[in-house]
Structure 1
Amino acid sequence: MTGMKEGAGENPFAEETSSGTSDREDETDLGDVESAEDNTEGPVEQSASSPEQSTNRKPMQIPYKFRRDGVQDGRDRVPLFLHSETKRDERDALRELEERLDDDVSLTDLREALVIAGLDHLDEVEGQLEEWGYGMVFDN
């Protein structure tokens, strides 16, 4: 799913501005400037008509999946070479996550999610690298 088709009805994620146009129409090329991480963390500050509204109401953040035009938007192309076992495990993970989420998952999204998860678990990454021989010392 790459987004909503033009003319398929109103965009439920669009917010009306004072000029009557949606915020989405006023933005330019979000995919090249913003990352998914930048747009999904924390609330965006907005002025509210009363202090009570500002503490109880959080603006909706549009997930990366829905605000992009395609899976490559905002991403740099990097080569990825995988062992056949890793490729098989990747395919199995894709199927399992699609079942868990009850949604189609793009391979590009899965791969970036795996990289991000790995970055959050460097001890496990270190263990894998050690299995491959990194950190070995050979005395002369």
Structure 2
Amino acid sequence: MTGMKEGAGENPFAEDPDPTASETEKETNATDTETSTETETESTMSSSSESQQSQRQSMQIPYKFRRDGVQDGRDRVPLFLQPETKRAERDALRELEKRFDDDVSLTDLREGLMMVGLDHLDEVEEQLEEWGHGMTFDT
């Protein structure tokens, strides 16, 4: 036995020995259409992918929501504050919590203050001068 029953229909594994010209044309047209459709699909997918990637970049999740805790992604640095600075920090924390109508972590506040200070070095320089930086005692 050959594995196929007689009269069971066509052998799906058999090759067509002599395809007619019209069948060849149909196959060629079908292949061209498939290739054209695939190219259009790839082009659409590529532009869609680029669009989604640019949206992801512009819609980055804020640090507060992508971290596991306030210390996540931060280096520990010692911070020693004078009493008046500590009071001002506490007042600033309360004020910002009112503005956000939400809790603000002291760690976030401190880093926010640091980042703003880094953008305003002239004002930081003035504060440091008040504390005596830049003074010389040459006679």
Q: TM-score, normalised by structure 2?
A: 0.61
Alpha-carbon distance between aligned partners in 1 of 2:64 and 2:82, rounded to the nearest angstrom:
28
State the SS of the aligned residue for 2:55: coil
Tell me the equivalent position of 2:127: 128
CA distance in 2, matches of 1:138, 1:82: 27
Rounded to whole Å, the distance in 2 between the matches of 1:83 and 1:94 is 16
- Residue in structure 1 matched with residue 81 of structure 2 by the alignment: 82
Unaligned 5+ segments in structure 1 are 1-46
SS in structure 2 of the partner of residue 48 of structure 1: helix
Q: CA RMSD in A?
A: 1.9
Residue 133 (structure 2) pairs with residue 113 (structure 1) = no
In 2, Cα distance between equivalents of 1:104 and 1:97: 9
CA-CA distance at 1:82 after TM superposition: 0.3
Q: How far, CA to CA, are the matches of 2:47 and 2:106 in structure 1?
A: 40
Consecutive unaligned residues in structure 2, runs of 5 or more? 1-45
CA-CA distance at 1:49 after TM superposition? 2.3
What is the alpha-carbon distance in structure 2 between the residues aligned to residue 49 and residue 135 of structure 1? 57
Amino acid at match of 2:102: D
In the alignment of these two chains, the number of paired residues is 91
**Which of the pair has the greater relative contact order for Cα pairs under 8 Å at 6+ separation?**
1
What is the aligned partner in structure 1 of residue 17 from structure 2? none
Residues of 2 paired with 1:48 and 1:81: CA distance? 52
* Equivalent position of 2:67 in the other structure: 68
Q: How does 1:45-60 map to 2 (within 5 A)?
A: 48-49=47-48, 54=51, 58-59=55-56, 60=59
Identify the residue that residue 104 of structure 1 maps to in structure 2. Answer: 103
- The percent of aligned pairs where both chains have the same amino acid is 80
Q: Which amino acid in 1 is paired with 2:99? A: R
Distance 1:89 1:68 in 2: 27
Q: Which amino acid aligns with 1:79?
A: P
1:65-93 deviations in Å (ceiling 9; x for gaps): 00000000011111000011100000000
Point out the structure with the larger helix share: 2
